[in-house]
Amino acid sequence: MACIIALIVFSIMGLFSATHRQLAREAFDCVFRRVTFRPCNTGFKEKIRGRIIGKLLKRSVALAKFSNKYFEVFAWIFFLLTVASTGYTIKGGYNFYRYGSCNGLNQGGFCAFDPTGKNNATSSVADGSCPIKQPTTKDLTLSAVDLELFQSKKADSKNDLVFVGCYSCDYTRKAYPVVKKLLEKENINYTFIHFSVKNENENFPLYVYAASKIDQEKYWRLNDLFFEASKEDLQSQEKIDKMVIKVGYDLQVIKDEAQKETTKQAVQKQIEEIRKTHIYGTPTVFINGRSIVGPKPYRVYKLMLR
């Protein structure tokens, strides 16, 4: 076992030192002999033992004697720890590639590949803050939600994607271009749900609904424009009006529609439907019913498709 431990350690250290590269070669020869049922090179094994015990002698004679006596036992312990840590590292790497988190889909906790937790970050629905959450997805669902109340693009596809996001949420803004790229490359039935969880102009949700009702083609262009604009612009009525005009809407028609009681009722109904999803932060994406919380890399969304 000492040979295997030495191989791993010296292979890594050999990246930086020619001396350790030579030891790595000797360790590889030792391991090769062991796996082919031949005895390891005694000289190398004793060299490794001598180096370790020599270091310990400088600190404690008793510790050096104890380590020498149980050298093979310690080698086995370190070997098992190395195998376990390597296994966890491989599992974490797979999870990160597949789900954007070392710990699995929508799971928080420390991840060496994502130390800041940015792939799981959301704007909280509860209070508008932007914490890195440890998501619980068991209650997230679309089963009771009437998606017909929201704007969608039907593609006659076996894949369905529902994007719940806030125009003023930094994390939604990060996820949106990634999802948009996916929609451009793949044939997907798409529904976008605007759920305001940040400070936005009070008329903003009414304008969004009015625009979607009057002209759907223009609405999707306006949707892109809202994400391209600064968050400050989305708080300014004047800036919002300019964006509405830019995509070709008659501003007065939008204003009139936005102030109708039926529009206010429809927006309130949408909010009630969104609450049925039990989302706790934006963005939340549902692909074929599976929830994905936080802005994930492109590959994560792509791998969720059928």
Determine the pLDDT at residue 79: 60
Asked whether residue 109 is assigned to any structural domain, the reply reads no
Q: Which domain holds residue 243?
A: 135-303
pLDDT of residue 76: 66
Check whether residue 174 and residue 256 sit in a common domain.
yes
Q: Is residue 245 part of a domain?
A: yes
d(CA 117, CA 114): 5
Range of weakest confidence among 24-38, 205-219, 255-269:
24-38
Higher per-residue pLDDT: 261 or 27: 261
Residue 230 belongs to some domain of the structure: yes
Q: Which of 93, 123, 156 is the C-terminal boundary of a domain?
A: 93
Residue at 252 is within a domain: yes
Please give the Cα distance from 108 to 122 (Å, whole number): 12
**Domain final residue pick, 93, 120, 144:** 93
- Written as six digits, the tokens of 31 are 């391991």
- Same structural domain for residues 289 and 155? yes
Q: Are residues 208 and 298 in the same domain?
A: yes
Whether 164 and 291 map to the same domain: the answer is yes
Q: Is residue 279 part of a domain?
A: yes
Instruction: Give the mean model confidence (pLDDT) for residues 214-229.
Output: 94
Q: Is residue 130 domain-resident?
A: no
User: Tell me, what CATH number does 265's domain have?
Assistant: 3.40.30.10
Segment 130-148, tens digit of pLDDT: 444 444 678 899 999 999 9
**What average pLDDT does the structure give for the chain?**
81
Tens-digit pLDDT profile for residues 175-217 = 999 999 999 999 999 999 999 887 667 788 899 999 999 999 9
pLDDT band at 24 (very low <50, low <70, confident <90, very high): low
pLDDT tens, residue by residue, 98-132? 989 888 888 878 887 888 888 888 888 765 444 44
Q: What is the pTM of this model?
A: 0.76
Residues 69 and 185 occupy one common structural domain = no
**Residue 298, phi-psi category: left (phi > 0), alpha (psi -120 to 50), beta (remainder):** alpha
Q: Are residues 210 and 265 in the same domain?
A: yes
Q: Do residues 139 and 245 both lie within one domain?
A: yes
Q: What percent of the chain has pLDDT over 90?
A: 46
Residue 76 lies in a domain: yes
pLDDT at 263 over 60: yes
pLDDT exceeds 50 at position 2:
no
Residues 148 and 275 in one domain: yes
Residue 35 has pLDDT above 70, yes or no: no
Q: Are residues 250 and 159 in the same domain?
A: yes
Let me know whether 9 and 143 are in one domain: no
Same domain, 159 and 290: yes
Chain segment 39-88, per-residue pLDDT in tens? 555 555 666 667 777 777 788 888 877 877 776 676 667 666 666 777 87
Specify if 110 maps to a domain: no
pLDDT, residue 103, reads 85
Residue 288 clears pLDDT 60, i.e. is over it? yes
Whether residues 85 and 139 share a domain: the answer is no
Q: What is the pLDDT of residue 135?
A: 47
Residue in 139, 189, 110 with CA at minimum distance from that of residue 293? 139
Total number of domains constituting the chain: 2
Q: Which of 70, 93, 116 is the last residue of a domain?
A: 93
